[in-house]
């Protein structure tokens, strides 16, 4: 039984669906991820990648399916309850608020546009949530913040404001802020899309180091070489479905899927 627990997924997604009115953004998404693994999600704009991350981090609700995070059921399917001849009840049921909060605290999300508080210093941005949400002592949070900034290559930037940093530095502060909450899974929503090519490398280097340290991560990215090199698993999404998934070798070199080949051909000339 212990071996079964050790191999159980830390993230399990089954038949997840999400619509906005008549627009079906996620049609039937299923995958799982074990602790210490890195999943790269690739695909064209509008394929549902960012919506999937927002659903998994509770920024959006799903309309159907099952999601389990760190052994806790976040949302489960239900039998639709009749509400008269023209209607039906909800297809999913979310966990109680206490469980949802526990799940939320076990995940972190790094946005593509940094989302730092402009009126707070770098260190204040990192310490705010550990103090207010986790109840950490301020001095402990500041010590952890300085440690994380050193890890991000930003030692000496504690008292700088976001506007005084480059985009790459701001994104590294965002990563440090997410890590300060000690998440079990870290989600990245196109973390380099707002950066110019010169600054992209410094952020990708940090994420690669996290992968080497066995941080469990789900990364939506348009950086194909990075997705191939850093991931244990790769998912290719298009039109709200998973068209192909597997190891980087399978997805980037061995798959015979025509739509995937068409998508990757856009990057091979770079």
At 46, list the tokens: 């509008």
Q: Please, which pLDDT band fits residue 196 given cuts at 50, 70 and 90?
A: confident
Which residues 6+ apart lie within 8 Å of 101 measured at CB? Answer: none
27, 30, 33, 51, 215 from 237: Cα distances, Å: 11, 11, 16, 12, 23
Q: Is the pLDDT of residue 60 over 70?
A: yes
Q: What is the mean pLDDT of residues 196-220?
A: 92
Q: Provide the mean pLDDT of the chain.
A: 91
The Cβ of residue 164 has, within 10 Å, a number of other Cβ atoms equal to: 12
Average pLDDT score over residue span 154-163: 96
Residues 6+ apart with CB under 8 A from 117: 124, 125, 128, 162
The predicted-structure confidence for 35-46, as pLDDT tens digits, reads as follows 999 999 999 999
CA 55 from centre of chain = 10
Burial class (CB in 10 A: 0-12, 13-18, 19+), 185: buried
Q: What is the pLDDT of residues 104-136, one digit of tens each?
A: 999 999 988 888 999 999 999 999 999 999 898
pLDDT per position as a tens digit, 237-253: 999 999 999 999 999 99
Instruction: Give residue 80's pLDDT.
Output: 56
């Amino acid at each position: 039984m212990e071996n079964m627990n050790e191999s159980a997924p830390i993230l399990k997604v089954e038949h997840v669906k999400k619509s906005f009115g008549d627009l079906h953004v996620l049609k039937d998404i299923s995958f799982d991820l074990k602790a210490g693994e890195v999943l790269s999600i690739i695909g064209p704009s509008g394929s549902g990648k960012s919506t999937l991350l927002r659903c998994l981090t509770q920024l959006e609700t799903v309309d159907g399916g099952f999601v389990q995070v760190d052994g806790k059921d976040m949302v489960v399917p239900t039998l639709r309850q009749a509400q008269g001849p023209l209607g039906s009840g909800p297809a999913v049921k979310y966990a109680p608020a206490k469980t949802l909060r526990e799940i939320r605290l076990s995940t972190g999300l790094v946005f593509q546009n940094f989302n730092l508080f402009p009126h707070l210093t770098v260190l204040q941005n990192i310490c705010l949530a550990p103090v207010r949400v986790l109840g950490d002592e301020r001095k402990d949070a500041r010590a952890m913040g300085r440690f994380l900034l050193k890890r991000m290559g930003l030692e000496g930037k504690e008292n700088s404001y976001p506007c005084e940093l480059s985009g790459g530095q701001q994104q590294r502060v965002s990563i440090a802020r997410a890590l300060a909450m000690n998440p079990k899974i870290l989600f990245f929503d196109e973390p380099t899309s707002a950066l110019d090519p010169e600054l992209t490398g410094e952020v990708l280097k940090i994420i690669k180091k996290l992968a080497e340290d066995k941080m469990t991560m789900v990364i939506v990215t348009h950086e194909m070489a990075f997705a191939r090199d850093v991931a244990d698993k790769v998912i290719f999404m298009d039109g709200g479905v998973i068209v192909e998934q597997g190891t980087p070798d399978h997805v980037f070199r061995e798959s015979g899927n025509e739509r995937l080949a068409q998508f990757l051909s856009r990057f091979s000339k770079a």
